[in-house]
Structure 1
Amino acid sequence: MAETGLWLLRDAHDQWRATYEDVAGGRGDGEHHRQVALRLHQHAAAVATWARALDDLCGGDPGPMPGYRVDRTDSSGELLDGARYVCNRSVHQLLNLTQSIGGISYPRSYPRRYDEVGIVNWAQERYLPRAETERPGQAALRAAYVARYAGQPVFETLAELRKWFDWKLR
């Protein structure tokens, strides 16, 4: 079962990277930009969903993987709990927690364009639902998201999730 989940996580991560590489530096105006942003979010949410499933499986459903809970300490715990928050918000509220930030690509081309697809970051805390409106049991997951994800580049976090499960399931 874990091998299947790991394959699915890797595939979603590969899809995110491929989509980003296809569009990075390309024009991102109007409907096209919206579709690209949704496609990137779709793949990021899929990585988070498979990370959540693997975390559940390895952490005790049906029985804990030897050493998993010990290795799931402060930093990795925040990484995994943040992924759980992304999954929950993406699935239950259809929130897009990724933000495509326009920028300039390098090497520069002329005339300069500022509407290119640039960096894709996780949404800042100010874009999350108000803390008092969160669903029950989400406070700790939200705190992990804010600590580890908010405002950070999506590609780094997705790579960390992949690396974590590649290590744990090697």
Structure 2
Amino acid sequence: MGLLRLAFDGFHQARARLGEYLSAHDTGAHAVAIPAAETIYWACVLDEQLTSNGGYKTVRGRAIGDVMRGARWVRNRATHALPLTVERTGGLSLPLQVPITIEPVVVRWLRADRLPPEPPEYVDAAGRTAYDKTFADRPVNDPVEDLAQWFANEHGRRGSRLRGM
């Protein structure tokens, strides 16, 4: 139960830090990249700890399999290739063009084709597809909140190893 608790707490603490960085008005993608990667790291560790229970894996596959697979894919990209996996978009930029529209500033996950390629021995085409489907071009917090909601549901599921925490 010790590693499971560590992963559960790590995910929620990293998610809180990500929220703090996202709410800071002058935060750029570089500042958000660290808590975003950390949050995804802990989500994957928590998922891996829970996967030892066959019932969890079956339920997860139906409910949030693509998001978790996308999270694992970007976690591997972030830890092995050390790319910046997010970018800040929107705001005012020069030169101005008429008509002027100012998009809100948002930090988004990059598309897979903008990240370094996987080494040939670690290609995960299904993971890349899942990432593009569930993370790419979305605000950083959106898939993180999907994961948080999943873990909250799992926490309440009868038979879940999270239920006792």
* TM-score, structure 2 normalization: 0.77
What CA distance in whole angstroms lies between the structure 2 residues aligned with 1:95 and 1:81?
Answer: 19
2:64 equivalent to 1:76: yes
TM superposition outliers: structure 1 runs of 4+ over 6 Å: none
1:138 deviates by 2.0
In structure 1, C-alpha distance between the alignment counterparts of 2:29 and 2:122, rounded to whole Å: 29
Q: By how many angstroms is 1:75 displaced?
A: 5.0
Q: 1:67 aligns with which of 55, 76, 101?
A: 55
1:1-170 pair list within 5 angstroms:
1-23=3-25, 26=26, 36-60=28-52, 64=53, 67-103=55-91, 118-130=105-117, 135-168=121-154, 169-170=162-163
CA distance in 2, matches of 1:77, 1:68: 11
Encode CA deviations 1:2-51: one digit per residue, 9 max, x unaligned: 2221111011111011111112xx4xxxxxx6xx3222011110111011
How many matched pairs?
Answer: 146
CA distance in 1, matches of 2:78, 2:45: 14
Do the aligned partners of 1:48 and 1:87 also contact (CA within 8 Å) in 2?
yes
Q: Normalization by structure 1: what TM-score?
A: 0.75
Superposition deviation, residue 98 in structure 1: 0.8
CA distance in 2, matches of 1:150, 1:74: 21
Q: Distance in 1 between matches of 2:70 and 2:143?
A: 10
- Separation in 1, partners of 2:134, 2:59: 17
Distance in 1 separating the partners of 2:62 and 2:128: 15
The CA deviation at 1:128 is 2.7
CA apart distance, 1:137: 4.2
Q: Percent identity?
A: 27
Give the Cα–Cα distance (whole angstroms) in 2 for the partners of residues 17 and 100 of structure 1. Answer: 15
What runs of 5+ residues in structure 1 fail to find an aligned partner? 27-32, 105-111
CA contact (8 A) 1:100 1:117 kept: no
Q: What RMSD in Å do the two structures reach over aligned CA positions?
A: 2.4
2:97 maps to none
Relative CO higher for 1 or 2, CA cutoff 8 Å, sep ≥ 6? 1
Using the TM superposition, name which of 14-23 and 133-142 deviates more: 133-142
